[in-house]
Amino acid sequence: MIELHSYPTANGLKVMVLLEELGLAWRHVDVNIRLGEQFSVAHLRLSPNNKIPALVDPDGPGGRPIALMESNAILVYLADKHRAFLASDPAGRYDALQWLLFQSSHVGPMIGQANHFNNHSDVQYGKDRYNREVARLYRVIDNRLAEQPWMGGSEYGIADIALHPWCRTRQQVAVDPGSHPNFFRWFDAIDARHAVRRAYAQGKEIRARMDQASSAGAMIDLYSTADNLARLNGATARAG
């Protein structure tokens, strides 16, 4: 059975959504990033960059197992394998892929930085810089959706699946229906999908279970990078 080694953040949730959309049998292997489990030797073998999510498919290319990190690489892999949620004609495929990469290159990192400065620092420069950038990205998304029904083009697919969980945090900047009508039309249409609802509901349950485990364990400060190199060096040494 497919294993998703993960924690239900936006990057974990997007893979859960696609697994549900595809109707696949899969199981969640909890990697509790609040307890530092992303630095375990076992997880680093799947995800050398010590991040979630990672996917293990026992039935990969050529019938051999495959392990993958980077959520959007995982989405492309699953879409290709099942010939779904990614256009098969070259023009449509590249159109969708550019928006998929827009998510991992811009939306994820900028929202991540905005969250960090807004909630874990008092550095006004950082708050202003990233909140402005996030507001700009919502304008880009609304403009794209004025041209096409979906971020990936004419059909719902992995670019939409990748972006939607990130856009659930839009309250941080002023994104209102009056000025972003296309964004809201798109967001609500995805929110109403059964597979999306199922995945987000599972994410909530998994999160509760993992948060309970966190409070019983030795939590790391996820918002400090001070010890991460030492953690990676320690795991590298343990792996021999």
Q: Tell me how far, at minimum, the Cβ of 76 lies from ligand GSH, in Å.
A: 12
Burial degree of 189 (CB within 10 A; 0-12, 13-18, 19+): middle
Q: Which residues have CB under 8 Å from 218's CB, separation 6+?
A: 35
Q: Tell me how far, at minimum, the Cβ of 48 lies from ligand GSH, in Å.
A: 12
Does residue 162 contact residue 71 with C-beta atoms inside 8 Å? yes
For residue 216, what are its two tokens? 């019983």
Stretch that binds ligand GSH, among 67-75, 93-101, 163-171, 181-189 (CB under 6 A): 67-75
How many CA atoms lie less than 13 Å away from 85 in the CB half-sphere?
26
Q: Tell me how far, at minimum, the Cβ of 192 lies from ligand GSH, in Å.
A: 25
172 vs 182 by CB, closer to ligand GSH? 172
Q: Tell me how far, at minimum, the Cβ of 113 lies from ligand GSH, in Å.
A: 12
Distance (Å, whole) CA 160 – CA 187: 9
Binding residues for ligand GSH restricted to 99-118, rule: CB under 6 A? 104
| Binding letters toward ligand GSH, positions 71-100, x by CB under 6 A | xx----------------------------
Beta bridge partners of 57: 66
| Exposure class string for 57-85: b at 16+ Cβ within 10 A, else e | beebeeeeeeebbbbbebbbbbbeeeeeb
The verdict on 9 binding ligand GSH (CB under 6 A) reads yes
The verdict on 52 binding ligand GSH (CB under 6 A) reads yes
Stretch that binds ligand GSH, among 45-53, 117-125, 131-139, 190-198 (CB under 6 A): 45-53
Q: Tell me how far, at minimum, the Cβ of 228 lies from ligand GSH, in Å.
A: 6
38 vs 131 by CB, closer to ligand GSH? 38
Distance (Å, whole) CA 160 – CA 151: 6
Beta bridge partners of 27: 3
Stretch that binds ligand GSH, among 16-24, 44-52, 174-182, 196-204 (CB under 6 A): 44-52
Of 95, 133, 103, 122, nearest to 14 (Cα)?
103
How many residues sit close enough to ligand GSH to count as binding (CB under 6 A)? 12
Q: Tell me how far, at minimum, the Cβ of 103 lies from ligand GSH, in Å.
A: 8
Distance (Å, whole) CA 51 – CA 128: 27
Query: Footprint of ligand GSH on this chain (CB under 6 A)?
Result: 9, 11, 33, 38, 50-53, 70-72, 104
